Chains A and B, each alone.
Chain A
C-alpha cells in the first residue's frame, strides 16, 4: 500500500542492466543514467564488520584495479546475469535513487528490466528480486533482443521477419522477430568483456606484458577492428613485463587486435549463421531483403558490420545510437504495457 503511494512520486523506468554498463531510461526524459555496472565495496578487514558500498558507477570504475586491501571493486553482473545478488541490489538502489533526486519519498517506480533471452528462470528471478529489493513497485522482464529491436526502430509488429544482433558486455543475442514475438533467439556468452579478455591474453602471449581490464578496453575502443581495413592504426600501451617484473611501454596496431579478437568474433558470427539456419524460410526471405540490425556496445567495434555482412552474405547495419537501443526500447515497451497490459511483447 505504501509502495503505491510512493509510486505516485516515482517515474517508470526501463533499465538495461548490462554486464558492462547500466542504462536507465525515463519516460519523457530519455536516457537519464549511463554508468558502468561496477561497485566499490569497503570492508574493514581488522574488525570483520559488514561490507559497505563505497562507490557505484563511474566513481567505482575509476577505482577498478587500483584499490587498497580494504576496498574491492566488483562487477556484480557476469555474462548478463547476476553474480552477486546483494551488491546488484545495492547498485540498483543507488541508481534508482540517483534518477529520482530531490524527492521527499524513497522512490518506488515500476521497472522494466531487459534480460538475456538465454537466462534461466533462476537468473530471471534473481534479477526480479533484486529490483524489488531495490524498491521497485512492480517489475517486468523483457528479452533483450526484443527491446533492442524496438529501440532500433524495427517494425516488430509486422508479419515480416526482422533479425537483430545485440552485442552487449557479457552476451550476444541474436533473434528473429515477427508479430511482436521472438520466433528464434539464441544467446552466446560472448561480448565486450570477452573482447577485453582476448586482448589481455593476446598481449600476454605475444608481448609478455600484463595489462589490466581498463587498458584492454581502451585498446579495443581506439584501435579495435573486426575486419581488415586499409588503414592501420597504432596505440602506445603501458603494462608490466612478466619476465622483468617492471612496467614497460609497447605499441600495438589494429591488425594485431583484429587477430586477438578472432576467437570471440567467430563465436558471434557462428551464432548468426546458426540463427539463419534455424529461421523459418518465409522469415529468412524477409531477413535476406531487410538485413540484420546490430545493436549494443559491441556493435561499435569498427567494421563489425562488414565482417557479418561478409560472413552471412546479408546487408547489415548498425543501429543509430546502438548503446542505448535496449533501454530506449524498454521505455517504449513500458508505454505499451500501460495500454495493453504486461503480456504484450512477451514481457514477464
Chain B
C-alpha cells in the first residue's frame, strides 16, 4: 500500500497541530503513546505527517481519533483535517498469492469465440475443397466415377442436341424399345466401374430431364433405351466386355424360376451379382475356375464351355442354396 505524503500548505499541517496540542497539555510522546495504547513511533509518525508508516487509512483514522480525544480536540475537526489531506481512500485490493496468474482466464475468454469461428470456417473451407463439383442439374457424382457416352456439358442446355448414348447391349435393345412407351423422363447413365466391390451400390445415376423442349423431343429412342438400361443395370456389368483375358472360358446360366446368382472368376472379378428371373439367360466369360453361388439352384441350368453341367453338380442334397466351383475338370470328366 502506498500513501503519498501530503503537501504542506501555508496552513498548519495536521501533524504540527497535534504536536502543538500535545505540548500544550504537557505530554511527552511516550506518555501520550501509553495513554492511547500504542507505540511512540505511531505518535511520532502522526506528528510528522508520515502517514505511509501508519498503514491503511482506517488505522490512521483510528489513531487520530484516539489521539485527538486524548488531547481534547474535537472529533469532527480532526477528521475534517484528515479528510482534507485526501489520503482516506481505501487501499487497492490485491491477491495475496503472488504465484496466482495476474491475468485470469476470464480476460482471455473472449479469444475463444473468434478462435471457434475461425476453426468452423477452416473446416467448412476444407470440406468444400474436398467435395466433387456439382453439375448443372445439381446431381453429384461420387469420386472415381465418370460419365461415359455423353458429354455432361451437353446436358446443361436444353436446346443443345444430345448425342445418343452408345452402349453395347445387344440383348437388351429390343426389350428396351418395348418398354419405351412406359418409361420417360429419365436417362440412365452407365458409369465406369472403379472397383468391383462398389459397383452394386453405385453403378448408375439417374438424371432428371424435362419432358418438354428439344431434348426430350429428339431423344425418344434414347430415353426408352435408357429406361431399359436403368431397369437392367445389374446385367450391364455381366455383359460388358471384360478385359481381354487369355484362356477365357464361357459360362451360360439359364433359369426356370427366380434365382439369386453370384459368379466370380479365378481373378476375383465379379461377373454376375443379381437376382435373375424365369427364362433369363446370362452368358459370362472369364478365367476358370468360376466360383458360383445360387440361391435357387434347382431352377438353374448351367452350360460350361458349351457343355451341359449335370444337375448333381450344382443342386444341393438339402435345401436350394448352393455354393460351388466350376473348373475345366468338369469338362474333362465329361
- Our pick among A157, A314, A339, A341 for the contact of B96 (Cβ within 8 Å) is A157
* B105 at the A interface (CB under 8 A): yes
Is B140's beta carbon under 8 Å from chain A?
no
| Chain B contacts with A in 92-140, Cβ cutoff 8 A | 93-97, 100, 104-107
Question: Is A315's CB within 8 Å of the partner chain B?
Answer: yes
- Please state if A155 and B61 are interface contacts (CB–CB under 8 Å): no
B96 touches A319 (CB 8 A): no
Contact A340 B37 (CB under 8 A): no
Cβ of B36 under 8 Å from chain A: yes
Across the two chains, which residue of chain A brings its CB closest to B105? A341
List which B263-296 residues lie within 8 A (CB) of chain A: none
Residues of A328-348 whose CB lies within 8 A of B: 332-333, 335-336, 338-341, 344
Report yes or no: B105 in contact with A336, Cβ–Cβ below 8 A: no
Do A317 and B62 contact each other (CB < 8 Å), given the known contacts A155-B1, A155-B91, A341-B105?
Answer: yes
| Bound Cα distance from A290 to B107, whole angstroms | 36
In the bound complex, residues from chain A placing their C-beta under 8 Å from that of B95 are 157, 180, 336, 340, 344
Residues of B within 8 A of A181 (CB): 96
Is residue A115 contacting chain B, with contact meaning CB distance below 8 A? no
Task: Give the complex CA separation of A37 and B61 in angstroms.
Answer: 32
The docked-state distance in angstroms from the alpha carbon of A338 to that of B109 is 11
Q: Is the CB of B59 within 8 A of A339?
A: no
Could you tell me the distance between the alpha carbons of A313 and B36 in the complex, rounded to whole angstroms? 10
> In the complex, A158 Cα to B107 Cα: how many Å?
25
**Cβ of B292 to closest chain A Cβ, rounded Å:** 62
Collect the chain A residues with CB atoms within 8 Å of residue B90's CB.
150, 152-153
Within 8 A of B (CB), among A280-319: 289-291, 293, 313-317, 319
Q: B58 touching A341 by the CB < 8 A rule?
A: no
- Contact yes or no, A180 B96, CB < 8 A: yes
Given contacts A289-B38, A313-B37, A332-B93, are A319 and B106 in contact (CB under 8 A)? no
Q: Which residues between 1 and 23 of chain A lie within 8 Å of chain B, taking CB atoms?
A: none
Residue among B36, B59, B61 with max Cβ neighbours from chain A (10 Å): B59
Partner of B58, one of A180, A314, A319: A319
B:11-45 near A, CB below 8 Å:
36-39
Q: Which residue of A lies closest to B63 (CB)?
A: A315
B65 sits at the interface (CB 8 A): yes
B58 with A340: CB separation less than 8 A: no
User: Does A252 touch B at the CB level, under 8 Å?
Assistant: no
Question: Is A263 part of the contact surface with B, judged by Cβ < 8 Å?
Answer: no
Map CB proximity to B onto A148-183 as digits: 1 under 8 Å, 0 otherwise.
001011111111000000000000000000011100
Known A315-B66, A317-B65: A155·B55 in contact at CB below 8 Å: yes
Residue B316, interface by CB 8 Å:
no
* Consensus secondary structure, chain B interface: loop
Size class of A's contact patch?
20 to 34
Chain B residues within an 8 Å CB radius of A339 = 104, 106-107
C-alpha gap A154/B90 in the complex (Å): 7
**Are B104 and A340 in contact (CB-based, < 8 A)?**
yes
Assess whether B309 is interfacial by the CB under 8 Å rule: no
B48-64: which residues lie under 8 A (CB-CB) from chain A? 55-59, 61-63
Shortest distance in angstroms between B93's beta carbon and chain A's nearest beta carbon?
5
**Residue among B36, B56, B61, B105 with max Cβ neighbours from chain A (10 Å):** B56
- A 195-227 contacts with B by CB, 8 A: none
Q: How far is the CA of A319 from the CA of B91 in the complex (A)?
A: 14
Q: Taking each of B57, B63, B104, B107, which has the highest tally of chain A beta carbons within 10 Å of its own beta carbon? A: B104
The yes or no answer to A84 lying at the interface (CB within 8 A) is no
Return the chain A residue nearest B62 by Cβ.
A317
Within 8 A of A (CB), among B165-199: none
Partner of B59, one of A156, A290, A344: A290
B106 touches A338 (CB 8 A): yes
Residues of B within 8 A of A44 (CB): none
Residues of B within 8 A of A154 (CB): 56, 58
CB distance from B66 to the nearest CB of A (A): 6
- In the bound assembly, the distance between CA atoms of A127 and B39 in angstroms comes to 44
A320 touches B (CB below 8 Å): yes
Chain B 76-94 interface 0/1 with A at a Cβ cutoff of 8 Å (1 = within): 0000000000001111011
Cα(A317)–Cα(B59), bound, Å = 8
A88 to chain B, nearest CB (A): 29
Chain A residues with CB under 8 Å of B66's CB are: 315
Contact B104 A315, beta carbon cutoff 8 Å: no
Name the residue of chain A whose CB is nearest to the CB of B54: A290
Assembled-state Cα–Cα distance A158/B92 (Å): 11
Q: Give bound CA distance, A79 to B262, whole Å.
A: 87
Q: Quick one: CB contact mask for A184-198 with B, threshold 8 Å, 1 for yes?
A: 000000000000000
Which residue of B63, B88, B93 contacts A336 across the interface (Cβ within 8 Å)?
B93
Instruction: For B61, list chain A residues within 8 Å (CB).
Output: 317, 320
8 A-B pairs, CB-CB below 8 angstroms?
A: A153-B57, A153-B91, A157-B96, A159-B96, A180-B96, A315-B38, A317-B62, A338-B106
A contact set with B: CB distance below 8 Å: 150, 152-159, 179-181, 289-291, 293, 313-317, 319-320, 332-333, 335-336, 338-341, 344
